[in-house]
Amino acid sequence: MSDLFAHDEPLAVAPDAYLLKGFLSDEDEMLLAEIRRLTAISPFRHMQTPGGYRMSAAMSSCGTYGWVSDAKGYRYSPTDPLTGNPWPPLPDAFLLLSQQAAERAGFHGFSPDSCLINCYAPGAGMSLHQDKDEPDRRQPIVSFSLGLPVQFQFGGSERHHPLKTFALEHGDVLVWGGRSRLNYHAVRPVRAGVHPLAGARRFNLTFRCAR
């Protein structure tokens, strides 16, 4: 699918949802270094769903709020439950790049206060779900991809709607909001491989307005 998206202009994958190929190409080393720094403060962990399922992707967060999941449910918290401390602040470079990506996709005034940091080892994925824990759904979701490629599935507002599948590769950004803000989406299991900068992992930064 990569050839389909091989140009510089944002590509619509659904109404108000755009893929920015290679948007992070000049910033990848800095982003990966910041991920290492942030997760030394709030380490990666495998969270549990309210039903007791262990998520296959390891997670952390930065920003004013972090996303957490446990027996009490899904929610945003100002405190990292693993360390008992506030999450590390959102780096200025993360904020600027996420705002630039949102602007490029036509979403103006994006000001995220939360960044979910995901680490996918080979075999890890994420099942079909909506991002609906945020009260202000006028704000988009901005998602950075680094490391190993993955097949991403993007559907509609109902679980049974057809899914569009396409590759997210190192340096890509996906932005969705507006008419597609509550669309279902999933990450297919990551295939084994080694990326020259990220190793045998895929990293994902997902920027959101939690409050």
Burial of 194 (0-12, 13-18, 19+ CB in 10 A): exposed
Residues at the annotated binding site for substrate? 67, 74-76, 133, 159
Residues at the annotated binding site? 67, 74-76, 118-120, 129, 131, 133, 159, 185, 202-208
DSSP state of 55: P
Residues for the chain: how many in total?
211
DSSP β-bridge partners for residue 167: 151
Asked whether 22 and 172 are in contact (CB, 8 A), the reply is yes
Residues at the annotated binding site for 2-oxoglutarate? 118-120, 202-208
Give pairs for 20-23: CB < 8 Å, separation 24+.
20/101, 20/104, 20/105, 20/172, 20/173, 20/174, 20/175, 21/169, 21/171, 21/172, 22/169, 22/171, 22/172, 23/101, 23/104, 23/171, 23/172, 23/173
Residues at the annotated binding site for Fe cation? 129, 131, 185
Instruction: Establish how many alpha carbons lie within 13 A of residue 48's alpha carbon, considering only the half-sphere containing its beta carbon.
Output: 8
Minimal CA–CA distance to 173: which of 142, 148, 150?
142
CA distances from 101 to 46, 77, 97 (A): 28, 25, 6
